[in-house]
Each structure stands twice: as structure tokens, then as C-alpha cells.
């Protein structure tokens, strides 16, 4: 392999090398430092004989005269085999535990390829997470991409770990795995997940990719891609149901911004590049099911909203790609409610097709529609009471306000170790609806009231 000693410039995470021949776009570059260590990068732009390389690892120690660059003639690949289960890799897919080398079955391009929409199978198999607010209101199904929109200081990690621990498809005993990709999170956060996986015995069914806060930021560009390459292999070649947790996507996006800035591209909103939508889509669209394949990829990306702002480009573009969102609320968290999920702006777009008779329970859609509507009205009433005083509320509104409180405290709230099955969750919903005047129960059917609302109504 030819080594070029013609580095012309090093700027942020970018290196330009001149005088190259036969180098292809997106190809992997290997940079050899003076001390013999190696760094990886990829070709971002190749113009005549000059290649612009984006590093996946830090630039410290690279110099113009002493370092050399060679090109591998292929795009970045990750070696897969069933043995990756139970192992820990860094953000670019190098082993960092002490389990020894893995002999790969094959090497796969980390960028993957777009799934042919014609080959997709529609996700509609209900996953019971044991978390009422999710199972009832923002139902998760196999093959879905459902992010958690959180913010700093909120318990999104606890929730993600709880989901990973409890998630199951009722009545089925199938092979499943967790692929966990950490991007720029703290050592403690990563430890939290690792310990939790170890405690519940999930570790040997997990593949971990860890890029910590003090690891090079640009590594993060590769991390979700390597993780999803592992997931695709396990799901579509090894028939496993794979849950992928990507955290924190905000750090990923910041790395993307850093590279864009170094390239002096025209910045989009808040400095993030204009192609961030497409870039994120190339990650999130790797969730799903494929016709004729047993396995599936379900993604739970976690992101922290800067300034708690849902219109910030990171949550905004994510919401435009994913199939709903679970929103963690600071207000509920302050009230001491765990999990502090705000169900009103949360949404699962695949809920409709994953619930109902034969899938969950025949009343699922109606009773949750009623819970939504009643909770919304109760919250409104509470706001009104705040301005005008309790006395200004109509008799009905007082009932709705009381309902809203109970809904938060009894339905949304549960313990971090509690797994409620769906029947218990829905029954609890009916129980709470007793607080509401009968004539206001417009979203449920008369027969359902008879069947599910236990005696002792108002």
C-alpha cells in the first residue's frame, strides 16, 4: 500500500493530502503518526490529486512532515460475528475490553445501504415495556424508531435502562439483543448502563460501543453507524430482535457541526449543517423490519434538548424523521413523578396499527383517547384555576382537574423497578376515568364502559 508523505494542511478534524492517485470518495484513510501510532479517517472530497480527509479519531500528534497517509481502497467496515455479543468496542468499533480478538465472519460497510421500501415489512407487533405511559399512550412496536426527548438533569437514562430491562413481546420467547451506542456521555452514565445490563444478565446479549465525553468528538460520527451495522447483522442475518439505544444524539449532532464548520460550509440553523436531516435519516432509517426476515431493529435514540427547546434543530429534525417521540418533562420531574413523561406532546405514530383486538386489547385505542382528552382538559382547567381561582371552575372542570392530578400520580408515575402489564395499565386507566362525569366520556363506547369500568361509578 502506497503511503503519501504529502500532507498539506491540518485543520480541526480535517487533513488535506496532495499528489494522490486513484483515491475514491468516502474511502478509508490510514494516518501514520511519527511515533508509529495510527488514526483512521475517510475521504470527504477528492479533487484531482488532492484529498480532503475527515478524521474519525483526534488530530493531536499529527504533523505535516512526520506523518504519512495511505488509502485502503474501501469504505469503513466493521467486522461482525456472533461473538460480538457481550463485547465492548470504542466509538469506531475497536475492541476495548480484554476479551481478546474476534475473528469476523465478514466485514460490513458501516454506512450500510438503504432498505428498499418495497422490501420493508410494516412494524405492528406490540412491545410491552411495562411502563404505563409508554405502553398505553405512546405504544412502542417492533421495528419502530422512538426517541426520548429529554434535557440535562432528567432521568432519561433510568427510563432507557428500564425499557431495555423490561421490554418483551407477550407470549413469545425469541432471541433478542441490545446494541448500546454511547456518544460523548460521561463515564458514570456509561457505567450506569453497563452495571444495569450486568445486574439483569443482559450483558451477554449486548454489544456496547462506547465513546465517552473525553474521547475524540469526531469519533462519534462513526459510532451510531458501527452500532447499527452490528444491529443489522444480528437482526437480519442472525434472526434476533435488536433494541438499539443511541445516546446522546445531541453530542453526535455537535460533532457533525464541528466538521461542517471546519469545512467552512454555509451553516444552517444554529450552525448545524443543512444536510443534518439527511444525515440523521441515514441513521434512523436503519430501524425496521424486512419481509421474510425473522429479526427486527427497534431504535430508542436519546437526545437532550438544548435549553429544553423542542424547536431546536436537533429535536426538530429528529422528530421529522422518527416515528414519534417520548417527551420527558422537567415540570413533572420537579413534582417527583417518575417516569416524568409528558404524554400530551409525546406520540407514537405506529400505535394505531399495533393496538386493538387481537394485538393488545379491544378498548386500548378508545380508553387512551379518553385519557388523553380528559388529561388535556384537566390541565387546562388547572391553568384556569391558577389565574382565576378554584371558584371560577365549573363543577365538571373541578372533576377534570382532580383527574389530571391522579393521572399523573397514579398512571404516569410508577417505580423504576415496576413492570405493569398492559391489562393492569388499561384497567388503571378505566379506574381513573370514574372521576369523570359519565356524559363526558365521549371517546369510549357504551359497551366498553359496561365491560371495563368496574362497579362503584360516580
Q: Is 285 in the site for another protein (CB under 8 A)?
A: yes
Give min distance, CB of 232 to another protein, in A.
9
Size of interface with ligand ATP, in residues (CB under 6 A): 5
> Residue 33 or 115: which CB sits closer to another protein?
115
* 183 versus 290: smaller Cβ distance to another protein: 290
**Part of the chain binding another protein (CB under 8 A), chosen from 40-48, 153-161, 180-188, 238-246:** 40-48
> CA-to-CA distance for 42 and 51, rounded, in angstroms?
10
Residues between 223 and 262 with contacts to another protein, criterion CB under 8 A: 236
Query: Which residues ranging from 368 to 397 are in contact with another protein (CB under 8 A)?
Result: 369, 372-373, 376, 384, 387-388, 392, 394
Per CB under 6 A, which of residues 352..371 are in contact with ligand ATP? 352
Instruction: Kindly tell me which of 317 and 332 has the beta carbon lying closer to another protein.
Output: 317
199, three cell numbers? 445486574
From residue 101, give the alpha-carbon distance in Å to each of 28, 79, 203.
21, 11, 18
Q: How many residues lie near another protein (CB under 8 A)?
A: 75
Q: Which three cell numbers stand for residue 350?
A: 405506529
The grid coordinates of residue 266 equal 454555509
402 binds another protein (CB under 8 A): no
Q: Nearest distance from residue 128's CB to another protein, in Å?
A: 21
**Out of 79, 91, 295, 324, which residue is the one contacting another protein (CB under 8 A)?**
324
| Contact (CB, 8 A) for 221 and 276 | no
Cβ neighbours of residue 319 closer than 8 Å, sequence gap 6 or more: 147, 149, 310, 325
Q: Is there a cis peptide before residue 222, judged by omega within 30 degrees of 0?
A: no
349 binds ligand ATP (CB under 6 A): yes
Q: Which residue is nearest to ligand ATP (CB)?
A: 349
Which grid cell is 112? 450500510
DSSP-based three-state secondary structure for 383: helix
Q: How far apart are CA 399 and CA 443, in angstroms?
A: 17
Residue 120 interacts with which of another protein, ligand ATP, none, CB < 5 to 8 Å by class: another protein
Which of 25, 122, 187, 320 is the binder for ligand ATP (CB under 6 A)? 320
- Under the binding rule (CB under 8 A), the answer on residue 48 touching another protein is yes
Nearer to ligand ATP, 337 or 347 (CB): 347
Kindly identify the residues of this chain, within the stretch 188-227, that bind another protein according to CB under 8 A: none
How many whole angstroms separate alpha carbon 337 and alpha carbon 405?
11
Nearest CB to ligand ATP, comparing residues 34 and 352: 352
Only segment of 149-157, 247-255, 344-352, 441-449 that touches ligand ATP (CB under 6 A)? 344-352
CA dist 113 and 94 (Å) reads: 22
Name the residue among 92, 177, 166 with its Cα closest to residue 134.
166
From 18-26, 59-67, 204-212, 447-455, give the range in contact with another protein by CB under 8 A: 18-26
State the Cα–Cα distance between residues 188 and 182, nearest whole angstrom: 12
* Pick from 334, 324, 330, 354: nearest CA to 342: 330
What's the min distance (Å) between Cβ of 317 and ligand ATP?
Answer: 10
Closer CB to another protein, residue 103 or residue 386? 386
Say how many Å lie between the first and final Cα of the chain, rounded.
81
Of another protein, ligand ATP, none, which one sits near residue 1, judging by CB under 5 to 8 A according to partner kind?
none
Q: How far apart are CA 159 and CA 186, in angstroms?
A: 17
Report residue 188 CA to chain centroid gap.
Answer: 19
Rounded Cα distance between 185 and 214, Å, is 9
* Residue 308 site contact among ligand ATP, another protein, none (CB < 5 to 8 Å, cut-off depends on kind): none
Whether 252 and 302 have beta carbons less than 8 Å apart is answered as: no
Q: Is 344 in the site for another protein (CB under 8 A)?
A: yes
The answer to whether 1 contacts another protein (rule: CB under 8 A) is no
Q: Is 122 among the residues that bind ligand ATP (CB under 6 A)?
A: no
Give the alpha-carbon dihedral of 411, 417, 421, 426, to 10 degrees: 0
Q: Which is nearer to ligand ATP, 76 or 347 (CB)?
A: 347
Angstrom CA distances, 342 to 150, 173, 427, stand at: 11, 32, 20
Binding of residue 306 to another protein (CB under 8 A): no
Among another protein, ligand ATP, none, the one that 457 touches (CB under a kind-dependent 5 to 8 A) is none
Contact residues toward ligand ATP (CB under 6 A) are: 319-320, 347, 349, 352
Amino acid at each position: 500500500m502506497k503511503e503519501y508523505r504529502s500532507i498539506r494542511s491540518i485543520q480541526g478534524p480535517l487533513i488535506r493530502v496532495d499528489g494522490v492517485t486513484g483515491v475514491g470518495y468516502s474511502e478509508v484513510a490510514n494516518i501514520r503518526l511519527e511515533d508509529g501510532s495510527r488514526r483512521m479517517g475517510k475521504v470527504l472530497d477528492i479533487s484531482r490529486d488532492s484529498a480532503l480527509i475527515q478524521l474519525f479519531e483526534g488530530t493531536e500528534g499529527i504533523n505535516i512532515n512526520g506523518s504519512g497517509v495511505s488509502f485502503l481502497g474501501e469504505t469503513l467496515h466493521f467486522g461482525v460475528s456472533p461473538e460480538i455479543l457481550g463485547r465492548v468496542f470504542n466509538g469506531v468499533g475497536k475492541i476495548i475490553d480484554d476479551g481478546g480478538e474476534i475473528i469476523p465472519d465478514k466485514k460490513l460497510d458501516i454506512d450500510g445501504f438503504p432498505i428498499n421500501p418495497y422490501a420493508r415489512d410494516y412494524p405492528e407487533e406490540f412491545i410491552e415495556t411495562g411502563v404505563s405511559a409508554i405502553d398505553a399512550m405512546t405504544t412502542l412496536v417492533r421495528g419502530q424508531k422512538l426517541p426520548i426527548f429529554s434535557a440535562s438533569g432528567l432521568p432519561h437514562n433510568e427510563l432507557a435502562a428500564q425499557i431495555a430491562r423490561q421490554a418483551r413481546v407477550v407470549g413469545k420467547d425469541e432471541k433478542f439483543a441490545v446494541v448500546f451506542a454511547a456518544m460523548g456521555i460521561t463515564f458514570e452514565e456509561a457505567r450506569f448502563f453497563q452495571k444495569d445490563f450486568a445486574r439483569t444478565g443482559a450483558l451477554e446479549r449486548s454489544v456496547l460501543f462506547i465513546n465517552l465525553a473525553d474521547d475524540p468528538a469526531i469519533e462519534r460520527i462513526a459510532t451510531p453507524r458501527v452500532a447499527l451495522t452490528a444491529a443489522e447483522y444480528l437482526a437480519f442475518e442472525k434472526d434476533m430482535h435488536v433494541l438499539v439505544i443511541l445516546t446522546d444524539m445531541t453530542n453526535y449532532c455537535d460533532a457533525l457541526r464541528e466538521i461542517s464548520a471546519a469545512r467552512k460550509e454555509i451553516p444552517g440553523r444554529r450552525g448545524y449543517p443543512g444536510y443534518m436531516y439527511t444525515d440523521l435519516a441515514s441513521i434512523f432509517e436503519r430501524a425496521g423490519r424486512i419481509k421474510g426476515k425473522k429479526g427486527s431493529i427497534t431504535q430508542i435514540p436519546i437526545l437532550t434538548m438544548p435549553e429544553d427547546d423542542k424547536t431546536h434543530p436537533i429535536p426538530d429534525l429528529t422528530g421529522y424523521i422518527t416515528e414519534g417521540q417520548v417527551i420527558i418533562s422537567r415540570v413533572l420531574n420537579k413534582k417527583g413523578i417518575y417516569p416524568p413523561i409528558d404524554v400530551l406532546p409525546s406520540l407514537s405514530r405506529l400505535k394505531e396499527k399495533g393496538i386493538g383486538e387481537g394485538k393488545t386489547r379491544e378498548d386500548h385505542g378508545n380508553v387512551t383517547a379518553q385519557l388523553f382528552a380528559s388529561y388535556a382538559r384537566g390541565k387546562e382547567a388547572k391553568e384556569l384555576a391558577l389565574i382565576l381561582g378554584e371558584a371560577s371552575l365549573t363543577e365538571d372542570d373541578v372533576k377534570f382537574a382532580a383527574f389530571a392530578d391522579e393521572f399523573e400520580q397514579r398512571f404516569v408515575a410508577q417505580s423504576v423497578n415496576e413492570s405493569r402489564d398492559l391489562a393492569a395499565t388499561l384497567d388503571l386507566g378505566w379506574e381513573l376515568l370514574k372521576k369523570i362525569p359519565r356524559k363526558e366520556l365521549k371517546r369510549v363506547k357504551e359497551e366498553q364502559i359496561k365491560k371495563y369500568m368496574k362497579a362503584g361509578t360516580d
